[in-house]
Amino acid sequence: MTELVNKKTEREPYGKMTCRIGKTDYNVSVMFSKTSKETIEDKLLRIIEMEISKNDI
C-alpha cells in the first residue's frame, strides 16, 4: 500500500479541492485525459445509466 501512495503520476491534476465531512478531510484531485473521445456529459450519462441498471429502479 505504501508504494501506491508514494508513486507519483506523470499527469498533473486539473484541479484540487479539500472537503471535510465530520472530522475527516478528503483531498480530491480531478484529472482528464487529453486523448479521450468521450465528453464529460457522455461519461456522466454512462455512469448514471450503470447505477440505475445496478439498482433496478
Cα-only R_g, the chain: 16
Cell triple for 42: 457522455
pLDDT of residue 42: 92
Within the chain, which residues score under 70 in pLDDT?
Answer: 1-11, 56-57
Q: Do the Cβ atoms of 45 and 51 come closer than 8 Å?
A: no
pLDDT of residue 1: 45
How far is the C-alpha of 52 from the C-alpha of 50, rounded, in Å? 6
Range list of β-strands (E), the chain: 15-21, 24-30
Q: What letter would DSSP give residue 40?
A: H
Q: What is the pLDDT of residues 33-47, one digit of tens each?
A: 788 898 889 989 999
Whether this model's pTM surpasses 0.85: no
